[in-house]
Amino acid sequence: MDSQPDIAGADRTPRWSQARRVAIVLGLNAALIVGLVVVGVVAGSVSVLAAAGDTVADCLALALGLIAIALRDRDPGHPHANRPIAVAALVNGALLLVVTATVVVEAVARLREGSPPVEGLPVVIVSLVTMIVMLAGAFVLGFSARDEDIHMRSVLLDALADAAVAASIVVAGVIILATGGAYWLDPVLALGVSLVIAVAAVRLIVKAVAALRGGAVDFDDD
């Protein structure tokens, strides 16, 4: 019985190194930033701007993750070799919380003052592109990433979450296009996105702190 998980894990061994996969995902995220910011400003969409802020935070976390992987691989046999990985995950969670707080403030302000018009078509297009790019990033990482370490798991979960968020923004954009209104959907969706990101960030921070303390980290409840 005990040998089965090992065999399954061996079958899921990634063909590419962690550094190479993270670098590709970093490039995909970086390519999205300008488009998301431009569309968010032009279309007046706070949910798209929230996605842009999340993408910037992701890029910073991925860059830090590459450094952490390099530090770990210099001496993988060291008792604290995985400490940089936990630190990268911790910073990732903290950055996500900062982005979340900023988006919540803007979304609440829009709801209180009345949501301004939002251009639905550019929102739909850029969100569709974002969803495809994030799914491509998850494919590059491979689902084996969830069993590698805390940082790789956080990168994979973040890519999948971003794809889901982009899909929800597509739906909101379509509704805005179809109704010629319902602009309140944009800040409401931004709040929903923020809640999802905040929960994931807090859980990641808790697990990263536990890893830094040397405790066993269990991902089965994710």
**Domain assignment present for 143:** yes
Give which of 50, 38, 174, 178 is closest to 108, Cα–Cα. Answer: 50
pTM given for the model: 0.69
**Domain assignment present for 146:** yes
Q: Tens digits of per-residue pLDDT, 140-194?
A: 888 777 777 777 777 888 888 888 888 888 888 888 888 877 888 888 888 887 8
**Domain assignment present for 220:** no
Q: How far is CA 68 from the centre of its chain?
A: 18
Per-residue pLDDT at 189: 81
Q: How far is residue 55 from each of residues 28, 61, 107, 144, 208, measured CA to CA in Å?
A: 10, 10, 18, 23, 21
**Domain assignment present for 52:** yes
Which residues, in sequence order, are CB contacts of 87 under 8 Å at separation 6+?
Answer: 64, 68, 208, 212
Which residues, in sequence order, are CB contacts of 94 under 8 Å at separation 6+?
Answer: 201, 205
Q: Which of 22-26, 35-39, 71-75, 216-220 has the lowest mean pLDDT?
A: 216-220
Does 82 score more than 60 pLDDT? yes
Q: Tens digits of per-residue pLDDT, 183-216?
A: 888 888 888 878 877 887 888 788 778 877 765 5
What's 101's domain CATH number? Answer: 1.20.1510
**CA torsion through residues 33, 38, 41, 42, sign:** negative
**Domain assignment present for 108:** yes
**Domain assignment present for 119:** yes
Range of the domain at 37: 17-212
- Which tokens is 79 given? 């008792």
Q: How many domains does the chain have?
A: 1
Highest mean pLDDT among 27-31, 71-75, 102-106: 27-31
**Domain assignment present for 177:** yes
